[in-house]
């Protein structure tokens, strides 16, 4: 089913061309606007086609009908923990063992396949557009935009909070401000250093609990570089527990302990403030119990 978006023209756009309203107030991207102009009924006012050169009046109701998009990823029946869903967005609590997109190593067993399968079961279809990806091995909140409009509105406008277990004792709070670069373009490994091609990266951390061996930290990012949290703490000699790529010894869990616990954003269609949260997976909590008293851990993650 086509997604219809309705916008009421405010007084400040009285007499102005529809183009300026659609690009400014409605937030339609130039690319999407160009596409909508070529679709019969893509942009209407009172049921009549609205051209971008037409002038508007305050109180006009402008309707934008987004075209149906067909996902090319194969739908698969993979169980996912859906924590939010509406006509524009789908948010899940991603398993750490689930990759985001199909690759030569992962065909059919990714979050993209799972989302396609979930939507198919509801009689829907949408191109998989993840707004802020998580590495395989990282769990937590992932928001997927179900249309191009939602994706454009959310891009760069989601705030996230992570929790991670790192080696060593970290008390209080602090900031890591170190640029990150990729020494070998054929490998995914990143390192800290002020080199040609490096990108600025800023991570803020706060200790939730610390012991001599491990610390549980709350983290927020000013930048969103690939592997940023993992690289920053590895550079301090404190790799994430289980992160063998960045120097941690292997553990029985089989993945690094990094979880996106919360995210917040303004809904692209309603303008409502949305805050989503997701509990860490059981293996994350079990590992935390090895160095955090049970009652303290329960208070940190608000469970009985």
The separation between the first and the last C-alpha atoms of the chain, rounded to the nearest angstrom, is: 42
User: Residue 58 is encoded by which pair of tokens?
Assistant: 């305050």
Residue with tokens 């000013």: 222
Residue 219's alpha-carbon distances to 193, 207, 258, 295, in angstroms, are: 21, 9, 10, 22
How far is Cα 99 from Cα 205, in angstroms, rounded to an integer?
26
Active-site position among 60, 88, 135, 243:
135
Told to judge if 135 belongs to the known catalytic residues of this protein, a careful annotator would answer: yes
User: Residue 50 is encoded by which pair of tokens?
Assistant: 């609205």
Rounded to a whole number of angstroms, the CA Rg of the chain reads 22
Quote the DSSP letter at residue 21.
H
Q: Across the strands, what pairs with 43?
A: 64
Residues noted as catalytic? 135
């Amino acid at each position: 089913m086509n997604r219809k978006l309705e916008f009421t023209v405010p007084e400040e756009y009285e007499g102005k061309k529809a183009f300026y309203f659609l690009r400014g107030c409605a937030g339609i991207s130039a690319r999407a606007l160009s596409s909508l102009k070529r679709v019969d009924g893509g942009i209407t006012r009172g049921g009549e086609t609205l051209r971008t050169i037409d002038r508007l009046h305050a109180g006009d109701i402008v309707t934008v009908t987004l075209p149906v998009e067909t996902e090319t990823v194969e739908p698969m029946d993979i169980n996912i923990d859906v924590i939010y869903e509406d006509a524009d967005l789908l948010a899940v609590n991603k398993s750490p063992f689930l990759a985001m997109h199909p690759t030569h190593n992962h065909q059919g067993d990714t979050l993209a396949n799972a989302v396609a399968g979930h939507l198919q079961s509801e009689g829907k279809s949408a191109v998989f557009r993840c707004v802020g990806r998580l590495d395989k091995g990282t769990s937590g909140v992932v928001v997927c935009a179900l249309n191009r409009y939602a994706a454009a509105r959310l891009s760069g406008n989601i705030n996230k909070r992570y929790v991670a277990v790192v080696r060593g004792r970290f008390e209080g709070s602090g900031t890591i401000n170190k640029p990150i670069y990729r020494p070998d373009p054929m490998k995914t490994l990143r390192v800290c250093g002020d080199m040609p091609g490096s990108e600025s990266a800023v991570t803020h951390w706060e200790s939730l609990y610390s012991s001599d061996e491990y610390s549980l930290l709350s983290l927020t990012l000013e930048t969103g570089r690939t592997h940023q949290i993992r690289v920053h703490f590895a550079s301090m000699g404190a790799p994430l527990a289980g992160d063998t790529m960045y120097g941690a010894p292997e553990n029985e869990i089989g993945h690094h302990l990094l979880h996106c616990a919360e995210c917040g954003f303004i809904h692209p269609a309603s303008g409502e403030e949305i805050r989503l949260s997701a509990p860490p997976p059981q293996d994350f909590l079990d590992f935390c119990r090895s160095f955090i008293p049970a009652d303290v851990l329960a208070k940190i993650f608000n469970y009985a």
